[in-house]
A and B are shown apart, each in its own frame.
Chain A
Amino acid sequence: RKEVEQDPGPFNVPEGATVAFNCTYSNSASQSFFWYRQDCRKEPKLLMSVYSSGNEDGRFTAQLNRASQYISLLIRDSKLSDSATYLCVVREGSYIPTFGRGTSLIVHP
């Protein structure tokens, strides 16, 4: 079975901190990678795609390491509003993405 593994956390960090999450995947044929954010009792929403060369969107940086089969998400200068569950998503190239179980982030004052 194709697996996507995440540390469930919670990661408890103060405002302004830098925090990083990793996600490992088992299927070496995976082609597409994403980070989704899910707020409590809400639906998941795309945070960012992850490209081979790495990509940045404001305070968020995503990296892909194909050799070691993991992706990462780095959040700089954490805000209270960053508190959420972050879902790692991997797709082989078919229609079906595989979701990790999510990493919980709590940013406190």
Chain B
Amino acid sequence: DVKVTQSSRYLVKRTGEKVFLECVQDMDHENMFWYRQDPGLGLRLIYFSYDVKMKEKGDIPEGYSVSREKKERFSLILESASTNQTSMYLCASSSPSGSPREQYFGPGTRLTVT
């Protein structure tokens, strides 16, 4: 059974803190993604990576950075957390080859910044 895990289901942080969200997949997928999901706005892509040490900005990268040192792990970093980064964060992975190249999502991390 395929699996994407995220380090925390719920997280509460203070404004200005540096926050690390970890994502690990066991499917040997090349592609990994970080999204945030907010009511009424749907899923918005923050960053994605198509290979180790490779990263590309998504639609809303401001205030975030990422790290991909190993194929199975993709980390999202909030350099200085702000209240407008309170959200549900979803990690996903997919393989670039084959069909239909569906994305597999982790269970999500609900982050609250106070």
Chain A residues packing against B (C-beta within 8 Å) = 8, 32, 34, 41-46, 49, 87, 91, 95-97, 99-102
Contact = CB atoms under 8 A, between A and B. Distances in A.
A28 B5 CA distance: 35
Contacts of A97: 103
Given A45-B105, A46-B102, 17 more contacts: A32-B101, A42-B108, A43-B105, A43-B106, A44-B90, A46-B103, A49-B99, A49-B102, A87-B42, A95-B31, A95-B94, A96-B45, A96-B58, A97-B103, A99-B43, A101-B42, A102-B42
Contacts of A49: 99-100, 102
Q: Is the interface of B mostly helix, strand, loop or mixed?
A: loop
B107 interface: yes
Contact of A87 (B40, B43, B94, B100): B43
Contacts of A101: 40-42
Contacts of A32: 100-101
Nearest to A97: B103
Q: Which 9 A-B pairs have the closest CB atoms?
A: A101-B42, A43-B105, A49-B100, A99-B43, A46-B102, A95-B31, A44-B105, A43-B108, A43-B107
A91 B106 CA distance: 20
Nearest to A50: B100
A5 B16 CA distance: 35
A2 B53 CA distance: 27
A91 B101 contact: yes
A96 B43 CA distance: 12
A56 B29 CA distance: 28
A95 B105 CA distance: 15
A103 B56 CA distance: 29
Nearest to B102: A46
B74 interface: no
Interface string B52-76: 0000001000000000000000000
Contacts of B40: 8, 101
